A and B are shown apart, each in its own frame.
Chain A
């Protein structure tokens, strides 16, 4: 509680910067932790994991805001705009997709799109359940 009180006084840009730092470090950590990770643009599987997990979490966060409106604007800024938007990535997904053979590229797009959309929907279910 003390922490969220402290956050509520912080500048919005500082919140976005802090969330962005942690989100990028977490994404990189996932990409080098999965088998085949550690390359410049990260592993395809690592990108899929962060995109799906981050979409699920953003679904919880934003639908919770829609449904219950209990989260402060500051919390949504540091977690949503900062952390989750930095944790997930479209550019890495696009570069990796363009580097794959056609069939695998289609599979990568289908997996990221279908699972991330499903993640948002599941996030909403969780948000409804907790609120």
Chain B
């Protein structure tokens, strides 16, 4: 299948999944954190799993890439800071990073153990 079509179909599923988790752009930081961490765990597993090019494109680049979001995360962080909550903004930005990086490592460990 065409690589761009694989990425696009995965991206469609990822965007729908993120929408269904309940992200409403500027409101629900917990939802954004949830999709970003879950997507990072899955992508962390995928990059060490012996998957083919098609799966990597559809599930990794397409689904995980679209399921997670940097723009909503950045907007929410800036919004927190300018509403007078710089400490919460820093905690959200730093917390997302730490939990996502732990998630990537965890995904890799689980995938390595399973295959």
Please list the residues of chain A having a beta carbon within 8 angstroms of any beta carbon in chain B.
12-13, 16-25, 27-29, 31, 40-42, 50-51, 54-55, 57-59, 62, 76, 80-82, 84-95, 97-98, 109, 112-113, 116-117, 119-121
Closest to A42 in B: B61
Q: How large is the interface on B (under 10, 10 to 19, 20 to 34, 35 or more residues)?
A: 35 or more
Closest to B38 in A: A91
Cα(A57)–Cα(B74), bound, Å: 11
Cα(A113)–Cα(B100), bound, Å: 14
Selected A-B contacts with CB under 8 Å, 24 pairs: A13-B19, A20-B12, A22-B11, A25-B7, A25-B11, A27-B7, A27-B11, A50-B70, A55-B71, A55-B75, A62-B26, A80-B25, A81-B19, A86-B11, A87-B71, A90-B100, A91-B40, A91-B42, A91-B65, A92-B61, A94-B36, A116-B74, A117-B77, A117-B78
Cα(A42)–Cα(B26), bound, Å: 27
> A95 touches which one: B10, B44, B74 (CB < 8 A)?
B44
Closest 9 CB pairs of A and B: A24-B11, A20-B15, A86-B66, A88-B70, A91-B39, A85-B69, A116-B74, A90-B68, A58-B71
